[in-house]
């Protein structure tokens, strides 16, 4: 099973967490969404997607071109499996983790299949981002392995 840890970031936190997940999980690599074309998505790869939220709930700068590409190209993502982890700050209740939500909505609308729990990290909590992201990744990958068996 090939694993790509994709990230959309504004300040670098999602990138840092994605790189730590890739280092902690065998056969995984991290990729910035801005370097990925929607046609690059493959049913033979499992995607772990980390996405921060910017401003009033917008996508971060490195995720926006990928989402623009999804909306323009409208690829058939049937068979593509992904899990998602949103980053945000719950002190901004109306926009908390909306970047991840928006990215997931785009993937779902094109037929991709989400698996595992929707992970979230609250920047206003005392939880460590990297530890939370790695624990989430291990849990969703275990769920995916059980489902595939």
End-to-end CA distance of the chain: 12
With a pLDDT cut of 90, the percent of the chain lying above it is 84
pLDDT in tens, 7-30: 999 999 999 999 999 999 988 999
Q: State the average pLDDT over residues 118-138.
A: 95
CATH number, position 20 = 3.40.50.360
**CA pair distance 52, 70, nearest whole angstrom:** 18
**CA pair distance 131, 135, nearest whole angstrom:** 6
Domain assignment of residue 129, given as a range: 2-148
How long is the chain?
149
Whole-model pTM? 0.94
Q: State the average pLDDT over residues 108-116.
A: 96
Q: What is the pLDDT of residue 91?
A: 87
- Structural domain total, the chain: 1
Mean pLDDT, the chain, integer: 93
81-88 and 119-122 beta bridge pairing: parallel
Under a CB-based contact definition with an 8 Å cutoff, are residues 100 and 86 in contact? yes
Burial of 15 (0-12, 13-18, 19+ CB in 10 A): buried
């Amino acid at each position: 099973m090939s694993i790509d840890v994709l990230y959309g970031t504004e300040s670098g936190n999602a990138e840092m967490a994605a790189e730590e997940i890739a280092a902690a999980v065998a056969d995984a690599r991290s990729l910035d969404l801005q370097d990925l074309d929607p046609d690059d998505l493959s049913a033979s790869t499992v995607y772990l997607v980390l996405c921060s939220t910017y401003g009033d709930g917008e996508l971060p700068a490195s995720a926006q071109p990928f989402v623009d590409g999804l909306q323009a190209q409208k690829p058939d993502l049937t068979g593509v499996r992904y899990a998602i982890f949103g980053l945000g700050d719950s002190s901004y209740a109306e926009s908390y983790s909306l970047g991840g939500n928006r990215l997931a909505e785009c993937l779902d609308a094109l037929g991709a299949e989400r698996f595992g729990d929707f992970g979230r990290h609250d920047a206003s909590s005392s939880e460590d981002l990297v530890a939370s992201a790695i624990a989430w990744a291990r849990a969703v990958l275990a769920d995916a392995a059980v489902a595939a068996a």
